[in-house]
Structure 1
Amino acid sequence: MKIDSTLTKDIDVTASAAREIEQAGYDGLWVGETKHDPFLQVFQALQATENITVGTSIAIAFARTPMTTANVAYDLARHARGRFVLGLGSQVKPHIERRFSMPWSSPAARMREFVLALKAIWTAWQEESKLDFQGEFYTHTLMTPFFAPPPHPAGPPPVFVAGVNTVMTEIAGEVADGFFIHPFTTPRYLEEVTLPALRRGREKTGKTLEGFEIAGPSFVAVGRTEQELATAIAGTKAQIAFYASTPAYRAVLELHGWGELQPELTRLTKEGKWESMADLIDDEMLHTFAIVGGPDEIGPALIAKLGAVATRLTFYATYKTDPELLPELLRQVRAADQ
């Protein structure tokens, strides 16, 4: 089992934070795309570290084209010498259309084609062959020597795809090298929905889940004192509420009989009542989605939740945590995984 950490959103301390994560003994670190360009932070983290895996979790695929993504990912793979993982996600329609001003349609089918286009471009570069990818959403048929980067020993990076609903998850199993479990999930949803969909996707190419990476970020609310724990719980409830307001994730709530909560949370987002949303997340929901407790309780609970499913585990804490907790949490998870 590989244990990873999430990199800080503070771009001014990316390098130092990456060094601390590596020195603490983690196997990998992940950079999300929120306030800053994730590839810039990945580059900073790679420069500051020596052995740790560094990847995006996630970069927003539909905010880019396969060619622009292929370029930056291929260069990062060269620089990383095998330490970079390209993690992709679709985001949701309002953000793609209104924030990025990019087209949105058939997200699962588009993601499938996006990944296949990426791999076709990389093959053309790595094997110095003709580029001829023609799909419904993307067409890449022009690549002259002047614009083609030379092959490199590291080769293209592995591609992970994030998903929640069944179609996107099945697509990930078919065309990707790994899958990101969304933090907004539950053990029951994983068992009844996610794993069957991944297996169906793998079966389309005659493969099983053997050798297929599953990265499992999990909400963790941890504190060494009552005040620390209360702060962690408040931050975690707020993040659960944020994800629960997304219509695309309603299926997770419906499986547990909480489907009607989603439109109520969506209404609050439209009214700008962000601070009120966490109040709708009760303790039952908190403990269903998150692992809550002191440092010595987190390790066994995390292994129990995802140990039989994931090949990589990540603490997903959306509140400010004490950096000294990083090595402490890692020790607890390593001990529980023995």
Structure 2
Amino acid sequence: MDAAVVGRLAQVPGAARTLERRGYDGCWTAEIDHDPFLPLTLAAEHTRRIDLGTSIAVAFARNPMTVAQIGWDLQEYSHGRILLGLGSQIKPHIERRFSMPWGAPVARMREFVAAMRAIWSCWRDDVPLRFEGDFYTHTLMTPMFVPAAHDHGDPAVFLAAVGDRMTEMCGEVADGLLAHAFSTERYLREVTLPTLTRGLERAGRQRADFEVASPLFVVTGRDEEELAAAAVGTRKQIAFYASTPAYRGVLDVHGWGELQTELHRLSRRGDWDLMGSLIDDAMLDTFAVVAPIDEVAQKILRRCAGAIDRVLIGFPETIGERDIIELTSTLRRGGS
């Protein structure tokens, strides 16, 4: 079981130590309102066991050389614990927020990963750097710019994917897939995993050699009042994602596609509270694990069984440390 580390850099050491003490397997950062890589340096310094990943860093806001170098340094410093999670983001953010080129995101991401691996091979195996693609070209590497060797291997590369083409390509070139929190169990099992399997088979790879990581909405508490309070924020999160046109396919699987149109209209007005109220109990139960604290671990295990290898969960602040340690222990054991 994994969790996210969010917030200011000064908060990261304590948060990462807490996750390790509570028995988590990994901590992830995200590129939202902070850089995704700087916190991992602090987390690496203040932990010894847990994996450290980005979920996600925006690939197309950078280039393969810069990400390869960050990944190499973090892998050495963490003694081989880095999960390099990359995502494409969407066109408006790439062009208008990052002022970077957009186009052919699946082909571009495939080439991004291949270019990084070529750079790492150059540094690790002392071979010439000769990568020439449609989007990226890396053919210069003088000795001054080659980092010192280390014995920790390349970082594992995880790619965020929702659509069929990105998911299939992920199965061909990546070490893991970062599923979206908005993926329901049905969508994951009926759409994502079969598509991923096609990519793995095309590359002659086995599912056992690949990890699927996914955040999971969890609504829990010690009584009905705490459950109801936890559900309010989760309904708003689900509504926010459901308003995005790119995620309509998930709703369509359940026959809820028309709701996306209405939620998108409300999102343009900034009517977030009303949007959350449109997520009824049936939708909440479909997108989230809803259960009291003494039942939630088993329900999470049933949701993940045979589908999700690494689950990222954030529990409500009302859940105490002792309960969280017990939950992480149960989930790591795979139940009782």
| 1:286-320 CA-partner distances (Å, limit 9, x unpaired) | 10010012221211111111121122222145x65
How does 1:56-205 map onto structure 2 within 5 Å?
56-205=54-203
Does residue 221 of the first structure (1) align with residue 207 of the second (2)? Answer: no
Q: Is residue 61–residue 89 contact of structure 1 (8 Å, CA) maintained in 2?
A: yes
Paired residue for 2:36? 38
Q: Is residue 41–residue 74 contact of structure 2 (8 Å, CA) maintained in 1?
A: yes
Q: Is residue 58–residue 162 contact of structure 1 (8 Å, CA) maintained in 2?
A: yes
Q: Is residue 3–residue 27 contact of structure 2 (8 Å, CA) maintained in 1?
A: yes
Q: Is residue 244–residue 265 contact of structure 1 (8 Å, CA) maintained in 2?
A: yes
Tell me the TM-score normalized by structure 2: 0.95
Does residue 310 of the first structure (1) align with residue 308 of the second (2)? Answer: yes
| 1:100-139 CA-partner distances (Å, limit 9, x unpaired) | 1111112111111111111111111111211111111111
CA distance in 2, matches of 1:236, 1:179: 23
CA distance in 2, matches of 1:268, 1:11: 34
The 1:82–1:206 alpha-carbon spacing in structure 2 relative to 1, beyond 3 Å, is same
Q: Is residue 219–residue 230 contact of structure 2 (8 Å, CA) maintained in 1?
A: yes
Paired residue for 2:327? 329
Paired residue for 2:45? 47
The 1:37–1:322 alpha-carbon spacing in structure 2 relative to 1, beyond 3 Å, is farther
Paired residue for 1:244? 242
CA distance in 1, matches of 2:145, 2:318: 44
Q: Is residue 112–residue 136 contact of structure 2 (8 Å, CA) maintained in 1?
A: yes
| Residue type of the alignment partner of 2:167 | T
| Residue type of the alignment partner of 2:119 | I
SS in 1 for 2:204: coil
Deviates more, 1:89-98 or 1:77-86: 89-98
The 1:323–1:77 alpha-carbon spacing in structure 2 relative to 1, beyond 3 Å, is farther
Q: Is residue 6–residue 30 contact of structure 2 (8 Å, CA) maintained in 1?
A: no
SS in 2 for 1:108: helix
CA distance in 1, matches of 2:191, 2:54: 24
Q: Mark the runs of 5 or more structure 2 residues left unpaired by the alignment.
A: none
| 1:189-221 CA-partner distances (Å, limit 9, x unpaired) | 111111111111111211121211111321111
Give the length in aligned residue pairs.
Answer: 335
Deviates more, 1:3-12 or 1:189-198: 3-12
CA shift at 1:267, angstroms? 1.9
| 1:20-74 CA-partner distances (Å, limit 9, x unpaired) | 1101111111111111111011111111101111111111111111111111111
The 1:68–1:99 alpha-carbon spacing in structure 2 relative to 1, beyond 3 Å, is same
SS in 2 for 1:73: helix
| Residue type of the alignment partner of 2:309 | T
Paired residue for 2:206? 208
CA distance in 1, matches of 2:137, 2:13: 37
Tell me the TM-score normalized by structure 1: 0.94
Among all aligned residue pairs of Structure 1 and Structure 2, give the percentage whose two residues are the same amino acid: 52
Q: Is residue 174–residue 205 contact of structure 1 (8 Å, CA) maintained in 2?
A: yes
CA shift at 1:321, angstroms? 5.3
CA distance in 2, matches of 1:280, 1:145: 59
| Residue type of the alignment partner of 1:5 | A
CA shift at 1:334, angstroms? 4.1
CA distance in 2, matches of 1:133, 1:170: 23
Paired residue for 1:269? 267
CA distance in 1, matches of 2:318, 2:40: 21
SS in 1 for 2:207: coil
CA distance in 2, matches of 1:228, 1:59: 33
CA distance in 1, matches of 2:231, 2:87: 27
- The CA RMSD measured in Å over matched residues stands at 1.6
Deviates more, 1:266-275 or 1:155-164: 266-275
Q: Mark the runs of 5 or more structure 1 residues left unpaired by the alignment.
A: none
| 1:74-97 CA-partner distances (Å, limit 9, x unpaired) | 100010111111011111111111
